Chain A
Amino acid sequence: MIEKRGLASAVPHIILILGIAFMCFPIYLTLVASTVTQEEIVHPPLPLLPGPHLIENYKDALFSGVNVPVMRMLFNSLVMAMAIAVGKIAISLLSAYAIVYFRFRFRMLCFWTIFITLMLPVEVRIVPTYEVVAQLNMLNSYAGLTLPLIASATATFLFRQFFMTVPDELFEAARMDGAGPLRFFKDILLPLSTTNIAALFVILFIYGWNQFLWPLLVTTDPQMNTIVMGIKQMLPTADDWGNWPVTMATAVLAMLPPIAVVVFMQRLFVKGLIETEK
């Protein structure tokens, strides 16, 4: 650094600490609220230190919940996030492989068909997509929950970009040794792509876990609710006080898996984030 004089060097630290406080304080209070009783919450102010009711609140949330035990919603969220992440990666790997390593009729048509899906996020086509899923009898099913979110241009493009950088010599050497297309894919391309796959998996897992609008529409059966959308029904309404400690415990449970992924796989996460947006 260039300037490092007394007070001036403390300013960045102070601003950063204020920033971190702004980012973390809401989460901290959520955590506190999940360890106290309803009485302590409805008679503000909320204490600033955690209370002793952590275990009972979380037990209450996990095993009874409001409409459905949170355990069930966590399971649904996990299935959804995994299916979306694995599904997207699988179909994108295959189609990117075909587009890069093969010459076939309609190749460019396929490419452009994938490309335009970039322009159709689920939020802008909700009503017709809902109707299609309803006609296919996929409401309240894991297939209906995940399939419409699986097609993704970004993942296909990421793998396409990556495959383009794989040296042609590898391909030629593999051909020389008599490897067919499937062999080349399995033994050379896949092992080379592991870091990319892992980085993408982290991003897609968070994307799938955090879906809100789509599960809200297709899961009318509480047994199929995901945790991120299910929490909406726990919020107090005009004629109901709700149960804040249990709701906040659910909020913490809903945040925990994606936050754990970001914190523990930070390097992959940053790589995935920056590469998918290129």
Chain B
Amino acid sequence: MTASPTDSLFFANLLPDSVNSWHKQDADEIYHPQNLHEFIDGGAELYISYGFQKLCHRTYSSPDQPDILVDVFDMGNSANAFGIFMHTRENVDSSFGQGSEYVQGFLNFWKDRFYISLLALAETEDTKKALFALAKYIDTHIPEEGKIPSLVNKLPQPGLKPSSIRYFHHYVWLNSYLYLSNENIFKIHDNDQIALARYTNGTTLIIIQYADTSKSIQVWNELSQNSFPELKINQPFLRQKTWLQFYLQPPFLIVLANDDSPEPFKKLLNEIVQKLK
């Protein structure tokens, strides 16, 4: 899809025409939620689940060098840009934007409401230099910084593994990180938020912030009636070899999980409850 004049102008300000020996090829391609699947083969739903608004794709070429693909995702707000960046991170550094990672020919970072992916089709010393130069240019041309989701800031810091932080709105990801069901048993919808992190003591902590208090109470009641009768005694319990504890502090629902022991739950729960007050 060819860029509209408005889109072209906006993204032209973020991207250089050339970097080192690489030059822009063809017109920029602009994608929206309705046609993102034409660009990302099968993976569009991931970005749509994070509130994707618009994508600008540009290819840079250089003689006898692998192409470099640059994708600038406008995720609508900084929370979603942070969320999609953190989705598959292993090691986060601060080289570019508000967090970045480089893995063998692939550099990605987030800043403000943007998530930026730079991919060299093969890694060479020259492509690596070009990727870093491109990232620096784009970083410089996004003037504002965005806020990390406030829910993420509620995660207790002691023992937290920074690269394990996840932030999302879709139940598929909740079921992926902590498998309790195939179904959407927590009734997660787009306007709900979830922050998740792992701790050095082996605990996974999940905070679900429902859009309204009544929904959190309703979900709690349904869970205790249908899936987790253990919730009525408000103590850790064992399910499929995993220790679990749920805690309701409307509109927040907290889930703690640990494969080995529920012993870390009490301290962690106290910390999180204080932060949510």
Co-complex (A, B):
no
Q: Which residues of B approach A to under 8 Å, CB–CB?
A: none
